[in-house]
Amino acid sequence: MSVKLIAVDMDGTFLNDKKEYNRTRFAELYAQMKEQEIRFVVASGNQYYQLISFFPEIAHEISFVADNGGWVVSEGKDIFNGELTKQQFNTVIDHLLTLPHADIIACGKHNGYTLNSYDDAFIKMARTYYHRLELVDDFSGLDDVFFKFALNLPDNLLDDTMCSLEEILEGIMVPVTSGHGSIDLIIPGVHKANGLRILQEKWGIDDSEVVTFGDGGNDIEMLRQAKFGFAMANAPEKIKQIASYQAGHCNQQAVLDVIEKVLKKEAPFNE
């Protein structure tokens, strides 16, 4: 059975540490993917508007599982988005505002929202991931569809905060790690693998025909779901143990190396 879908996480996976990728090489590989009718999907915790900026020439013809599965767009058309009720949104925000060291971004369909009282360094960093970011005085009265929260906090508080959020927000949101000092809160079941599942059903693609790449806690479900789940060499050990396969380091174009193997039907894609 041949590969019909390739899904890539971005930070620490498809992108190197400078937030770049080899565009010329990828363009050549993408042309071959199209010839072989292999779908290319970007599956990231980042905002949709940021993700499309990396693929300006082809954003209208590929698919995006953005905001960790909160919003799925294919060929420029909305396929799915999760949505918190106003009560759920307020419950989450009320608790997050009690965390003294956490900077909060409320992730909506139209914008990301963060407080203008946060320091300039955080806001500057946030704008690199949220091309649509609105600064607000508070989180009340926002008119948008919300499906995720992003938190930034000191690394040494990450594990304890994850544990407390799991307990306090059980049934409303699930905390997942998305990088150093970062936690994403996602709607239960609305993760990257769910977004891929929706696209697979749309296209009639089986899990055995899917290749996924990731390096973080928000990639776990899609690494497990795909027959060919690749953890990056730079991923934490627990992520490597979950994945069936391992790729090289994100700084060495490892995703593109594996895609070449897919296109040439080399091991392990030669069954």
- Share in percent of the chain as helix, strand, coil (round to 5): 40, 25, 35
d(CA 121, CA 234): 26
Give the active site residues: 9
Buried b (16+ CB within 10 A) or exposed e, 66-104: bbbbbbbbbeeeebbbbebeeebbebbbeebeeeeebbb
Is 39 strand, coil or helix? Answer: strand
β-strand 146-152 against 103-108: which pairing, if any?
antiparallel
CA angle 23/240/54 to nearest 5° reads: 20
Q: Which residues, in sequence order, are CB contacts of 211 under 8 Å at separation 6+? A: 3, 5, 6, 7, 226, 227, 228, 229, 230, 258, 262, 269
Q: Which amino acid is at 4?
A: K
Q: Are 135 and 114 in contact (CB under 8 A)?
A: yes
Beta strand ranges found along 30-172 (DSSP E) = 39-43, 63-66, 71-74, 77-81, 103-108, 112-115, 133-136, 146-152
DSSP code of residue 4: -
d(CA 144, CA 5): 32
Please give the structure tokens belonging to residue 56: 């300006």
d(CA 268, CA 150): 36
